Amino acid sequence: MKKTLVALAATAALCTATSASADTWSPSGSWQMSGTVAVQKGISLNCPLTINATVPSGGATASATPSFSGFPCGTITFNGTPYLAELQPDGTTLTLFNVSVNTITSGGCSGDISGQWDNSAKTLTVNTTLPETAPGTGDCTIAGTLTLNSPSGGSITP
């Protein structure tokens, strides 16, 4: 009986710790961030990037779909969207998980894209390297700042 109670208490403590570190996206609904970022894989481009996200009721995470626009940037595509977007426990690192990119040059890239979320300025500053998916083709880099367009006053907090 004591072992069962100890196991239940430990489980409850872990569940409480997990929920205490969950982030909150407010309000729920549609979100959009955009800006120009420098992308590089064999060639360097400055590309308009938009991230459209859906935040469910309760707002612990979001489903995010990034897209580039304009020529030639619009030919860079993302596979398997939407991606899970989550604020990390440090309260400032926002991560899109398991991103997969088709690039203009040979080979693609995949991995997590992380950036620094500034909840006051409503900006996401990214400076990330995504590993190559085809050996010898080179990694992808993305760097720049996206600004929250909507919702007005949206907030992501730990």
- pTM comes to 0.84
Return the pLDDT at 88: 92
Return the pLDDT at 121: 97
Residues contacting 1, CB < 8 A, separation 6+ = none
Domains of the chain: 23-151 (2.40.160)
How many other β-carbons are positioned within 10 Å of the β-carbon of residue 18?
A: 9
Interval 48-63: pLDDT, tens? 999 999 999 988 899 9
Run of H or E residues at 48 = strand 44-55
DSSP 105-117: SSS-EEEEEEEEE
How many other β-carbons are positioned within 10 Å of the β-carbon of residue 97?
A: 14
Return the pLDDT at 61: 92
Read off the DSSP letter of residue 132.
Answer: B
Q: Using CB atoms within 10 A of its CB, is residue 54 exposed (0-12), middle (13-18) or buried (19+)?
A: middle
Cα atoms in the Cβ-side hemisphere of radius 13 Å centred on 142: 29
Run of H or E residues at 157 = strand 155-157
Read off the DSSP letter of residue 130.
Answer: E
Low-confidence ranges of the chain (pLDDT < 70): 1-22
Give the pairing of strands 93-102 and 83-87: antiparallel
CA 2 to chain centre: 43
